[in-house]
Amino acid sequence: MCGVIGVYGYEDVAADIINGLETLQHRGQDSAGLVVFNGSFKMHKGNGSVSTVFKNLPLDRFKGEIGLGHVRYSTIGSTEAVDAQPIAVNYPYGLAMVHNGNVVNFNELRRKLYEEHHRLLDTSNDVALILYTLATQLEQKDLRHLTVEDIFDSVQGVQRIVQGAYSAITIIANKGLLAFTDPFGIRPLVMGRKFTDKGVIYGFASESTTFDFLGYEKIRDLKPGEMVFIDEERKIHSKIGLTKRQAFCVFEYIYFAREDSVIHNRLVASERVRMGKRLAQKIKESDLQPDIIIDVPNSAYFFASAMAEELGIPYRRGLAKNHHMGRTFITPGQKEREQMVRRKLNPIRDIVKGKKVAVVDDSIVRGTTSKRIVEMLRAAGAREVYFISASPPVKHPCIYGIDMSVKREILASHYDVDEIRQYLGADAVIYQDLEDLIDLYKDLPICHACFSGQYPTGAGEEVLEAIEKEKLQSNRV
C-alpha cells in the first residue's frame, strides 16, 4: 500500500506535493520521493518518512509546473532507496511514474520486457513494470504526432497486459499529466482542482484528505479502468479503458484510509460506524456482557464507539497511544512489529482494572498485536478480555498491495476461532461476518479476497507461491 500525488499547475508545485505527501504518510513509511519536470526531470527520494527525506530540501532547485510524489510501503521489492518511487525513463519523450497497488504477474512481465523489448529492469519495484510497459506501448505510435487517443490506446495496452491492482500517475514530458486505474478499480485515486489567478491547477491523490489540506476542491473518484489525461493547455480528456466488475478494496474503509477521507462518496469514519453497529448485533447474539468497550487507537475508534452506543455500554479510552510512532501493521518485519506494540500502546490501569473489557480492533491478521494487547490488559487488572475484530477472519494472502502476502503469517488460515482465542489468551473472540460486510456494500462491489479467497483478477497457486517467494526474499517477515 502506498500514497501517490500528482499536480499540474501554473507555478512551482513541489511544495504542494511535499505537503500533500504529509497527509498520506499513514499509507507508507519505508520511503518517500518527489519528481518535477521543467525541461528535465528533477528527482529526490530516499528511505524514511516525508519529514526525513525532504528535510532541508532546497525547493528552488525543484522548480516545475508539473510533478509527482510518493510514499512507499513495500510489498513487492526491497526497502532499498533504489526501489523508492517515482521512477523515470528518458524514452519515449521522458516518462515519470508513481503508483499505488501491486502487480501480480511480475515475473512474467519482467521476462517479456527483456525477451521481447530488450528492457532490463534494475529494480524489483513493480512500478517499473507498469512504466516500461507503457513506454513499449507508446513506442508503437507515431511519436512525432502523438494524440490523446494514442495515449489512451497505450494505457489500454497496459491494462490488458498488467494484472493486479494499480492507480498510477504519469508525467509525459512536454505533453501532460496522465492518470489511470486498473480494470477493477481496486485502489483509490481521486481527482481535484484549485482555482488561481493564473488558471486551474489539477491534481490526483490517493485520498481526498490531501485536497482538503491543500485547499483543492475534490472533483471525483476515478472509475475502474478509467484514464484521465490533462494536456499542456490544461484541457481534461477522460475515457473508460479496459474495465471489469468493480472490486474496490474494503480494507481501505476498515484500516488504511484516513477517517476524514471520502472515497466513492463515502466518509471513511461513517463506514466504520456502520460496521461497528453490525458488530453490536454480534455481541447481542452472544452471552457476553462487557462492562466497558475500548478501542485499539486510532483506526478502531469509530467501530468501538458505534458499538458501545448501539449496546448502551460505556465507551472508554482504555489504551493510551504514543502518537510519535508509525503504524504497526506496516512496520517491516515481525520482530520490529512485536517490539513496537509495547512502546506504542499502554493500558490505562484505573479504567480497565476489575472490568470485563471488550477491546475492538480493525482486524486480526498475524495476531502479534492482538496477543500483546490482551496480555497488557490482563496485566493491568482486567477481569475478562473479549477481543472484537471489525473485519471478518483474514484467511488468505492479499496480492493487491497489503502486507499479508505470506500465508504462514495469517492466523485464521490455520486456526479456528476458538484456537485463535486460546492463542490470544482472550476470554472470547468475535469477528465481523463476511456476509454482513458484503451486505453493507451492495451498491459498491468490494474486493474481499483476503477473507474469501475470491481474487478479482484470478490467482492460482503458482501466482500465490511466486508472491510469497518474493516476499520472503525481501526479508519482510
Whole-angstrom distance, CA of residue 211 vs CA of residue 218 = 7
Residues making up the binding site for Mg(2+): 299, 361-362
Let me know: does 23 contact 210? Beta carbons within 8 Å: yes
- Per-residue burial over 109-137, b = 16 or more CB atoms within 10 Å of its CB, e = otherwise: bbebbeeeeebebebbbbbbbbbbbbbbb
CA distances from 16 to 29, 71, 80, 86, 476 (A): 19, 14, 26, 16, 32
- Tell me, letter by letter, the H, E, C secondary structure of 335-348: HHHHHHHHHHEEEC
Q: Find out whether the peptide bond into 332 is cis, omega within 30 degrees of 0.
A: no
Residues making up the binding site: 249, 299, 361-362, 398, 447, 450
Residues making up the binding site for [4Fe-4S] cluster: 249, 398, 447, 450
Let me know: does 359 contact 296? Beta carbons within 8 Å: yes
Grid cell digits, residue 127: 512500478
Q: Where do the DSSP E strands lie in 176-279?
A: 176-181, 190-195, 200-205, 217-221, 226-231, 236-240, 248-249, 262-263, 266-267
Quick check: helix, strand or coil at residue 390?
coil
- Annotation says 2 is catalytic: yes
Q: Where do the DSSP E strands lie in 336-404?
A: 345-347, 356-361, 384-389
DSSP label of 254: I
Query: Which residue among the candidates 1, 2, 95, 340 is catalytic per the annotation?
Result: 2
Catalytic residue positions?
2
